[in-house]
Amino acid sequence: MKIPCPHCGERDVAEFRYGSDATKTRPVHGKGTQKIWHDYVFLFENPKGPHEEYWHHVLGCRQWFKLKRNTATNEILGGEQ
């Protein structure tokens, strides 16, 4: 699989590390119950199909970016910084 880094261009997936789900909203710092923070940190969906994710170009520019990917086919649907 090839991933288009917004800074370096298209590179092999071996240079990247999956970060997390980019659709989750972080709770406000200092607010919220333990359950809200627990769910934010530890519970994840496992969507099949188009999904927005954070990726880290670990063996390249070391920048984080968002990537839209179809999790069923690994088709890259778009990205942004």
Grouping H, G, I as helix, E, B as strand and the rest as coil, residue 25 is coil
Q: Which two tokens stand for residue 63?
A: 């920048």
Q: State the Cα–Cα distance between residues 6 and 1, nearest whole angstrom.
A: 16
Which region, judged by CB under 5 A, interacts with Zn ion, from 2-10, 17-25, 37-45, 71-79? 2-10
Residues 23-52 interacting with Zn ion (rule: CB under 5 A): none
- Near Zn ion by CB under 5 A: residue from 21, 61, 64, 70: 61
Query: Under the criterion CB under 5 A, does residue 69 sit at the interface with Zn ion?
Result: no
Query: Under the criterion CB under 5 A, does residue 22 sit at the interface with Zn ion?
Result: no
Q: Which two tokens stand for residue 48?
A: 């099949």
- Near Zn ion by CB under 5 A: residue from 3, 51, 53, 57: 57
Contact set with Zn ion (CB under 5 A): 5, 7-8, 57, 60-61
